Amino acid sequence: MQQMPIVEDFMDKVFATVKATTRMGEAVDILISKKLTGILVVDESRQLVGILSEKDCLKTIIYDGFYRVPDETVGHFMHSSVRTVESGLGILAVAQIFLDCTYRRLPVVNNGKLVGQITRRDIVRGMTKFQTPVR
């Protein structure tokens, strides 16, 4: 019987991050240049403190329109309550999480330490590795 893949089999181990003190303009430039839909926010010791999505970036347009603060920081717009998954979690469980929520990416942790991220696309790319055989 084939072993069901786990998050670690598909997660990105090299990924872009920003700090909460990063200016939004710089964060948006990173998202655009790397073709990302979101980016993990870490502190000085690379501990996860939040996530910044494209939708969060859209908030800056409204914020700037009302308050005229052109260069606010990521910490002002990021989500600090972030759902994470363990690297040993089964891939089907993560697929279900993505089906049940609007997230496009999930930070991956081992014992609370950030070790990667997994996206919907990572799972779709790996689908051929866990298709059930035809009987």
SS (H, E, C) the chain: CCCCCEHHHHCECCCCEEECCCEHHHHHHHHHHCCCCEEEEECCCCCEEEEEEHHHHHHHHHHHHHHCCCCCEHHHHCECCCCCEECCCEHHHHHHHHHHCCCCEEEEEECCEEEEEEEHHHHHHCHHHCCCCCC
Q: Give me the pLDDT at residue 134, please.
A: 55
Is residue 108's pLDDT more than 50?
yes
More confident of the two residues 68 and 40:
40
More confident of the two residues 8 and 64:
8
**pTM across the whole model:** 0.82
Q: How far apart are CA 48 and CA 66, in angstroms?
A: 30
At position 95, the amino acid (one-letter code) is A
Of residues 104, 78, 86, the one with CA closest to residue 21:
78
Is residue 9's pLDDT more than 80?
yes
pLDDT tens, position by position, 30-67: 999 999 989 999 999 889 999 999 999 988 888 777 66
Q: How far apart are CA 115 and CA 8, in angstroms?
A: 9
Is residue 2's pLDDT more than 80?
no
Q: Give me the pLDDT at residue 51, please.
A: 96
Q: Give me the pLDDT at residue 132, please.
A: 57
Of residues 11, 31, 118, 108, the one with CA closest to residue 74:
31
Q: Which domains are assigned to the chain?
A: 7-129 (3.10.580.10)
State the average pLDDT over residues 82-103: 93
Task: Decide if 49 contacts 107 (C-beta within 8 A).
Answer: no
